[in-house]
Amino acid sequence: MAIKATVHKAALQIADMDRGYYAEHALTLARHPSETDERMMVRLLAFALYAEEYLVFAQAMSNDDEPDLWCKDLTGAIQNWIVVGLPDERLIRKACGRSRRVVLITYGRSADIWWNENREKMQRQNNLTVLKLDTATTQALAVWAQRNMALQCNIQEGGIMLTSDAGMIEVAPVVLHGKFGESD
């Protein structure tokens, strides 16, 4: 018998002063059995950083043709394709051909090695943004993972602050390629 995904609920308040986006989201995250708390929380952070009306979690863990999050317009065209982790660069190139904008959020101890191996091919993609989160930040986020969470995300002048009952975490993504914080 297959192990089922664990359902996590997150009440997420976003105040993104840089983009003028203010909203509350009641999110349901299905954590795949092979997914860590760290990865799930990075997906949640990715949602907070790129939130908009039609952004949704996709099926990346079980379907290579889908990202972790995506936003489609009313015609079904993919506007934003967001991937978390260290994917095969061919998947990113394919995504760049399918979407108006692709965002890759890397993290973990192997992120620098992965970037050095893939930098040249990634830098050819004009519609790609690659961000790197430091390990201390993502591990601190993993500690916050619970079945029911209430989080606030404030973004101002490129600074990102997450707060919850557990405390506060400042997030400082390093831009490896592209631009972060653009409003399209």
What is the C-alpha to C-alpha distance for residues 184 and 181, in angstroms, rounded to an integer?
A: 9
CA distance 57 to 26: 12
Lowest mean pLDDT among 52-61, 122-131, 167-176: 52-61
Residue-level pLDDT at 184: 45
Give the C-alpha separation, 51 to 85, whole Å.
19
CATH number for the domain including 89? Answer: 3.10.640.10
Q: pLDDT tens digit string along 13-33?
A: 999 999 999 999 999 998 988
Instruction: Give this prediction's pTM.
Output: 0.93
pLDDT single digits (tens) 49-84: 999 999 999 876 556 678 999 999 999 999 999 999
Instruction: Give a yes or no: residue 1 inside a domain.
Output: no
Residue 32 falls inside a structural domain: yes
When divided into structural domains, the chain yields a total of 1
Amino acid at position 14, single letter:
I
Structural domain for 142, as ranges: 6-177
Confidence of residue 1 (pLDDT cuts 50, 70, 90): low
